[in-house]
């Protein structure tokens, strides 16, 4: 009887880990909007508001966090962080991330790209979650591209 119960427990645990792993594996990340706001202080500060859409096609809720790098027209401009985000099973979630840039630290080509109003924004990073009730950490790479406008 004990072996039977242990077998059932092991089966349930294995299914839970597999389901949570698949939820992370199939999670889709896309940039749905990016807005550039240039400060009134003669282009000394620039803010990029990035809206990310996380879509979870699996039957299991997932909770993720992320650290990522941001590239503007293939030039690295900074790092970003996304705190814990829960995405319901079969659902999607919009999250907004803000990047503040001191234009004096940017190369002249990036500033002129922003002022022209056309650029490609790339977010490249790692999604992290924990399986089995938070006991087992796992991660996977993600990348999302947005062409502005």
Q: What pLDDT is recorded for position 100?
A: 72
Please name which of 45, 22, 41 lies closest in space to residue 102, comparing C-alpha atoms.
45
Q: What tokens were used for 97?
A: 């991330």
Cα(90)–Cα(70) distance, rounded to whole angstroms? 28
- CA contacts within 13 A on the Cβ side of 136: 9
The tens-digit pLDDT sequence of the chain (149 residues) is 788 888 888 888 888 888 888 888 888 989 898 888 776 666 666 778 889 999 999 999 999 888 888 887 777 777 788 888 999 999 999 999 887 776 665 666 567 677 777 778 888 898 988 888 888 888 999 888 888 77
CATH of the domain at 29: 2.60.40.1820
Query: Dihedral of the CA atoms 34, 35, 39, 40 (nearest 10)?
Result: 170
Q: Domain range holding 102?
A: 2-148
CB 10 within 8 A of CB 67: no
Number of helices (H), then strands (E), in the chain: 2, 7
Q: What pLDDT is recorded for position 55?
A: 95
Q: What pLDDT is recorded for position 90?
A: 95
Q: What pLDDT is recorded for position 106?
A: 64
For 143, the 3-state DSSP assignment is strand
Cα(89)–Cα(100) distance, rounded to whole angstroms? 33
What is the total count of domains within the chain? 1
Q: What pLDDT is recorded for position 28?
A: 92
Cα(20)–Cα(13) distance, rounded to whole angstroms? 11
For 112, the 3-state DSSP assignment is helix
């Amino acid at each position: 009887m004990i072996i039977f119960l242990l077998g059932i427990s092991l089966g349930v645990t294995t299914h839970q880990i597999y389901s949570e792993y698949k939820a992370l594996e199939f999670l889709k990340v896309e940039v749905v909007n990016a807005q550039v706001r240039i400060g009134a202080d003669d282009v000394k500060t620039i803010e990029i508001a990035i809206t990310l859409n996380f879509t979870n096609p699996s039957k299991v809720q997932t909770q993720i966090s992320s650290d990522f790098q941001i590239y503007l027209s293939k030039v690295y401009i900074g790092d970003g962080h996304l705190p814990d985000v829960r995405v319901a099973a079969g659902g999607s979630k919009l999250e907004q991330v803000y990047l503040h840039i001191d234009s004096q630290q940017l190369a002249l080509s990036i500033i002129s790209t922003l002022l022209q109003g056309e650029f490609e924004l790339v977010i490249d990073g790692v999604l992290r979650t924990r399986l089995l009730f938070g006991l087992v950490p796992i991660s996977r790479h993600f990348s999302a591209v947005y062409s502005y406008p």
